[in-house]
Amino acid sequence: MIVGIEGNVVKKEVTSVCVKTASGLSYKVFVSFFSIAKITKNEIVSLHVSQIIREDQHSLYGFIDENEKKVFDTLIK
């Protein structure tokens, strides 16, 4: 299970970012409006991550603030 990600923001969209890690892998991470407002393209970011695995999709949801992640985890249970 992925619980965190750190890397360079290579793409920023309205509800997601693409993070390229030091190993060269890039991940699409959905982020909250609170977190996206604090993220800029071409900066190194560290996100707390919730990984959701469904039959047809694997998704990562990232948060700058760990408390925001805890609230998210509680709501999706």
Q: Which domain holds residue 48?
A: 4-76
- The count of structural domains within the chain is 1
User: Within 10 A of 60 (CB to CB), how many other CB atoms are there?
Assistant: 18
Query: Which CATH number goes with the domain that contains 58?
Result: 2.40.50.140
Please give the average per-residue pLDDT across 13-17, as a whole number: 97
Is it the case that residue 77 has pLDDT exceeding 90?
no
pLDDT tens-digit series, residues 16-74: 999 999 999 999 999 999 999 999 999 999 999 999 999 999 999 999 999 999 999 99
The vertex-57 CA angle with 70 and 53, nearest 5°, equals 40
Q: For residue 39, what are the contacts with CB-CB under 8 A and spacing of at least 6? A: 9, 12, 17, 31, 45, 64
